[in-house]
């Protein structure tokens, strides 16, 4: 089926209504434009009003993402919520499990926990913690976390964590979906073994299909949750937009884990990865992820010019047909 209409830039466009189960989500605060808590809450409520499937919140040096999503859960009714992502090292798995279960209850079981290692420069240089064994760390972390989120008693003896006789009872919550920010081969194996899937960033379509999705297939993980976090903007000023994105996202081209993904894709930097253009181009790129089997598209809207954020958000809501 084809739908014809005028796009946000006033040009004719054609959209085929795909039958895949791709969920369209919004990355809140990805461009740094939300300055206070009320802005964050309103962004999520707006996404729900427009009919988007999900809202994801990064855990950077601002509001705690899990706690904030608990607040959002009390002010929304249907939109799925998730972290993209919360670092594991600063939070004991027992402590984060209790926090997560509380947020899941507050949001009527609409919460997905996204966790990740963060980066050596943050964990060691800023926090003063060891980043020496990241894969072992995540394996042990999930060994404690996952049964706690299922309401089970945990007895675990590892190198980093020793947990005995811990169990949480929150009757509104049975189990919480968990996705791991896994990009490298070993982390993808851990995600496939312990979690529901992965939450990605700086991963282009070629790398997504040939590396991320094939890793889950090789591990025998059927129907994983795979969240494609992508910078995106609807604009006719493509060169200017990419210049602004290159400036705003410079650090993501320098961090080793993201640099590896850009190199796999054969790209120089984040601006080359970003989905920038008119409605037809944006739709085609999103559909490409849908066709390969990605479950969630997490749109990090780049507010590169006046009206760009609102225009792109309305487009994303409009393709949910």
Whether the Cβ atoms of residue 226 and residue 212 lie closer than 8 Å to each other: yes
| CA nearest to 145, candidates 187, 201, 101, 207 | 101
Tell me, yes or no, whether 4 lies in a domain.
Answer: no
Which pLDDT belongs to residue 60?
A: 87
Whether the Cβ atoms of residue 204 and residue 261 lie closer than 8 Å to each other: yes
| CA nearest to 147, candidates 130, 128, 166 | 166
* β-sheet bridge partners, residue 23: 296
Tell me how far CA of residue 315 lies from CA of 39, 185, 226, 312, in angstroms. 21, 35, 22, 5
Looking at residue 22, the DSSP 8-state letter turns out to be: P
Ramachandran angles phi, psi of 127, nearest 5°: -95, -20
Tell me, yes or no, whether 290 lies in a domain.
Answer: yes
Higher pLDDT, 321 or 312: 312
Please give the tally of structural domains in the chain: 1
Query: Does the pLDDT at position 71 exceed 70?
Result: yes
Whether the Cβ atoms of residue 81 and residue 298 lie closer than 8 Å to each other: no
SS (H, E, C) 192-204: HHHCCEEEEECCC
Tell me, yes or no, whether 280 lies in a domain.
Answer: yes
Higher pLDDT, 289 or 11: 289
| CA nearest to 30, candidates 64, 55, 9 | 55
Tell me, yes or no, whether 14 lies in a domain.
Answer: no
Q: 136: how many CB neighbours lie within 10 A of its CB? A: 14
Query: Does the pLDDT at position 210 exceed 90?
Result: yes
Tell me, yes or no, whether 278 lies in a domain.
Answer: yes
Query: Does the pLDDT at position 20 exceed 90?
Result: no
> Over the stretch 96-127, which tens digit does the pLDDT of each residue have?
999 999 999 999 999 999 999 999 999 999 99
Which pLDDT belongs to residue 34?
A: 60
| CA nearest to 107, candidates 50, 38, 177, 58 | 177
Tell me, yes or no, whether 11 lies in a domain.
Answer: no
**SS3 call for 277:** strand
Global pTM exceeds 0.85: yes
Give the side-chain half-sphere CA count within 13 A for 212.
32
Tell me, yes or no, whether 5 lies in a domain.
Answer: no
Query: Does the pLDDT at position 5 exceed 50?
Result: no
Report the CATH number at residue 261.
Answer: 3.20.20.30
The secondary structure of the chain in percent helix, strand, coil, rounded to multiples of 5, reads 45, 20, 35
Whether the Cβ atoms of residue 296 and residue 302 lie closer than 8 Å to each other: no
Could you check whether the bond before residue 23 is cis, i.e. omega within 30 degrees of 0? no
Contacts of 45 (CB under 8 A, 6+ apart): 72, 75, 76
Give the side-chain half-sphere CA count within 13 A for 158.
17
Task: Name the strand (E) or helix (H) holding 113.
Answer: strand 111-116
Tell me, yes or no, whether 281 lies in a domain.
Answer: yes
- What domain range is 289 assigned to? 20-318
Query: Does the pLDDT at position 3 exceed 50?
Result: no
């Amino acid at each position: 089926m084809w739908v014809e209409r005028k796009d946000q830039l006033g040009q004719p466009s054609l959209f085929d209504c795909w039958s895949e189960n791709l969920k369209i989500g919004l990355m809140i605060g990805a461009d740094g434009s939300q300055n206070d808590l009320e802005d964050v809450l309103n962004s999520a409520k707006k996404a729900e009003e427009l009919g988007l499937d999900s809202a994801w919140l990064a855990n950077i040096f601002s509001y705690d993402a899990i706690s904030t999503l608990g607040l959002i859960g009390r002010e929304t009714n249907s939109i799925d919520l998730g972290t993209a992502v919360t670092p594991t090292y600063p939070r004991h798995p027992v402590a984060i499990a209790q926090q997560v279960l509380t947020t899941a209850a507050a949001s009527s079981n609409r919460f997905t926990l996204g966790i990740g290692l963060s980066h050596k420069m943050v964990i060691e240089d800023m926090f003063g913690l060891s980043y020496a064994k990241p894969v072992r760390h995540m394996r042990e972390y999930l060994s404690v976390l996952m049964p706690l989120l299922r309401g089970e008693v945990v007895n675990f003896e590892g190198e980093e964590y020793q947990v005995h006789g811990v169990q949480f009872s929150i009757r509104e919550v049975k189990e919480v979906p968990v996705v791991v920010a896994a990009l490298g081969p070993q982390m993808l194996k851990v995600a496939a073994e312990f979690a529901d899937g992965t939450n990605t960033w700086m991963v282009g379509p070629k790398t997504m299909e040939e590396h991320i999705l094939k890793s889950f297939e090789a591990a025998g993980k059927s129907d994983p949750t795979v969240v494609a976090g992508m910078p995106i903007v609807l604009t006719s000023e493509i060169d200017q937009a990419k210049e602004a994105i290159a400036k705003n996202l410079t650090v993501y081209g320098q961090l080793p884990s993201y640099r590896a993904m850009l190199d796999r894709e054969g790209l120089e930097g984040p601006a080359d990865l970003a989905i920038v253009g008119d409605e037809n181009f944006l739709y085609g790129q999103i559909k490409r992820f849908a066709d390969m089997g990605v479950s969630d598209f997490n749109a990090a809207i780049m507010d590169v010019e006046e009206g760009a954020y609102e225009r792109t958000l309305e487009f994303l809501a409009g393709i949910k047909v």
